[in-house]
Amino acid sequence: MDFLQLPESIINKSGGMDKQQEKSAAVRDRGQTTADFCSIYSKDLLPASGGEEITREFLQELLNILLSYISKSSQRSSKILDFHHPHQLKEGLEGFSLDLPDQPETLEQILVDCRDTLKYGVNTGHPRFFNQLSSGLDVIGMAGEWLTSTANTNMFTYEVSPVFILMEEFLLRKMQSIVGWSDDEGDGFFCPGGTISNLYSILVARYHFYPEVKTRGMGLLPQLALFTSEHSHYSVKKSAAVLGMGSDNVVMVKCDERGKMIPAELEACIVTAEEKGLVPFYVNVTAGTTVYGAFDPLIAIADICHKHTLWMHVDAAWGGGLLMSDRHRMKLQGIERAWSVTWNPHKMMGVPLQCSVILVKKRGLLQECNELGAEYLFQTDKPYDVSYDTGDKSIQCGRHVDVFKLWLMWKAKGSEGFGSQVNRCLENAEYLYDQLQRRTDFELVFKNKPEHSNVCFWYIPPSLRGLPPGPDRDTRLHQVAPRIKRRMMEKGSVLIGYQPLGAKVNFFRCVFSNPATQQEDIDFLLDEITRLGDDL
């Protein structure tokens, strides 16, 4: 079967009876399915009696839609997005309506809705999608997500997730040993993204120093201070706010030109905070900053944390993937001294969203910090080892199964496969860096070779090339990236992010995490930026 050929009525959404009949005939001609979905409803699917055949045919049609999308994802000529403004999508496009009906829609319409949902979305698996830290489309990972939905269970107890709970234990042990912790150290779980993983690190650090906070609240505690670099992720401040410590009590430590925290500045900030009557307790060290991809000096910071007895957390949400590469893992030397680590396999390792872990070195601390022992879920007289009812370590009750897709991908690639994938992405970053150095129409934001796969640069249009550095040039340069980005979104040929940072005006940030990207895509990116920005 040629899965690129979709039934006509699914390709052209118009939907009336004639189309339906044409579609059914076309589908029958191809021997794909005999179903005519225009008079069939979800109530006819399993578990309805006799619903096996129609369920199979419905899922086959859905698979056709998904396979067509997946195939297009890897075609360079296909658009990354078909951009529409929110009001256009809300008003409805070519029959695609977000309104929810009172009466059920036919399965034909449901399939059209699925097709249209993908059509108006963004193709993050496209080799020219450079907009986000998570990109690509791994077929095994996607299959894992399908299986997870089919199993439709919850990670709170072994009782309902025996296999997934044990997979989580195996994966966490593996990741902890890659971080460099010994067999008798390490705890953790999968949680919904890096921000929540970082929040857990602060929660557990506070509990470690002040266990009474769990029952008696913040009133008994001194005013705590947290430290993180000025280039770090905003989740540290957000967590401090959520946890009642106050975002103002997060001290933003200065970075060097390359975006790395300066250890001497950290030491000075700790002393200043103490002089002000605050009590330092936690340092977030970033391994792979969001914009520059910088690695803070882990060993020097670990020494400072040790000296002042501070909890050292490493936010390796982005950089953790480099641990899989023999070539690049030395950039995280010192991570083994961390008391907790965030690592997002949904970024550099290309696992479908979402897949993030919080690892905590001291075993049992997460359980003590968060357990409440709800008796309807965590009974102690169950007929198995209830230490595998791991749900009470979490602040969630229900927890999605994020582990399976990673486990399946690891089986399919092996650790070495992940290592090669990471190496390829970093080679792409070096290639882009080399091209930028050669060209006179682009300027690098920092001169050094990329440590991670982030490459930051300005495009300088002809009208700005002769201008001396200064506020006038900066004001005009600040407008270049957003204007080019706007044109890119309208054209849909490539997608890349931009931002200002500190005193630096808007610049492009290119990141590579999609193993499908090749050097020709990087050449295309630079040429397309030039084409779109030449007249600015």
- Which positions lie near ligand ABU, rule CB under 6 A? 132-134, 194, 290
Q: What distance in Å separates the CA atoms of residue 82 and residue 102, rounded to the nearest whole number? A: 30
Task: Please give the order of strands across the beta sheet that includes 455-459.
Answer: 129-130, 495-501, 504-510, 455-459, 442-444
Residue 115 or 231 with smaller CB distance to ligand ABU:
231
CA dist 44 → 49, 56, 62, 107, 443 (Å): 8, 12, 16, 9, 60
Angle at 310 between CA 309 and CA 316, to 5 degrees: 140
Min separation Cβ 132 and ligand ABU, Å: 4
Residues 6+ apart with CB under 8 A from 175: 188, 343, 357, 359
Report whether 507 contacts 458 (CB < 8 A).
yes
Min separation Cβ 299 and ligand ABU, Å: 25
Check residue 351 and report its DSSP letter. P
Q: What distance in Å separates the CA atoms of residue 368 and residue 42, rounded to the nearest whole number? A: 45
Min separation Cβ 534 and ligand ABU, Å: 27
Min separation Cβ 433 and ligand ABU, Å: 19
Residue 68 or 235 with smaller CB distance to ligand ABU:
235
Alpha helices in 74-193 (DSSP H): 86-91, 107-119, 139-151, 162-179
Residue 162 or 500 with smaller CB distance to ligand ABU:
500
Residue 20 or 235 with smaller CB distance to ligand ABU:
235
Residue 347 or 393 with smaller CB distance to ligand ABU:
347
CA dist 158 → 261, 385, 389, 403 (Å): 42, 9, 5, 14
Residue 40 or 358 with smaller CB distance to ligand ABU:
358
CA-based R_g, the chain, Å: 26
CA dist 325 → 183, 253, 451, 452 (Å): 21, 29, 13, 12
Min separation Cβ 136 and ligand ABU, Å: 13
Residue 235 or 394 with smaller CB distance to ligand ABU:
235
Q: What distance in Å separates the CA atoms of residue 70 and residue 156, rounded to the nearest whole number? A: 33
SS3 per residue for 33-47: CCCCHHHCCHHHCCC
Min separation Cβ 133 and ligand ABU, Å: 4
Residue 109 or 453 with smaller CB distance to ligand ABU:
453
CA dist 335 → 285, 302, 330, 421, 425 (Å): 9, 9, 10, 22, 22
Min separation Cβ 83 and ligand ABU, Å: 18
Report whether 232 contacts 289 (CB < 8 A).
yes
Q: Is 136 left (phi over 0), alpha (psi -120 to 50) or beta?
A: left
Residue 156 or 457 with smaller CB distance to ligand ABU:
457
Q: What distance in Å separates the CA atoms of residue 411 and residue 141, rounded to the nearest whole number? A: 11
Residue 127 or 194 with smaller CB distance to ligand ABU:
194
SS3 of residue 59 by DSSP: helix
Min separation Cβ 195 and ligand ABU, Å: 7
Residue 325 or 513 with smaller CB distance to ligand ABU:
513
Min separation Cβ 201 and ligand ABU, Å: 15
Residue 250 or 536 with smaller CB distance to ligand ABU:
250
Q: What distance in Å separates the CA atoms of residue 297 and residue 334, rounded to the nearest whole number? A: 8
Total Cβ atoms within 10 A of residue 302: 22
Q: Is 293 left (phi over 0), alpha (psi -120 to 50) or beta?
A: left
3-state helix, strand, coil in the chain (%, to 5): 45, 15, 40
Min separation Cβ 317 and ligand ABU, Å: 6
Min separation Cβ 193 and ligand ABU, Å: 7
Min separation Cβ 342 and ligand ABU, Å: 10
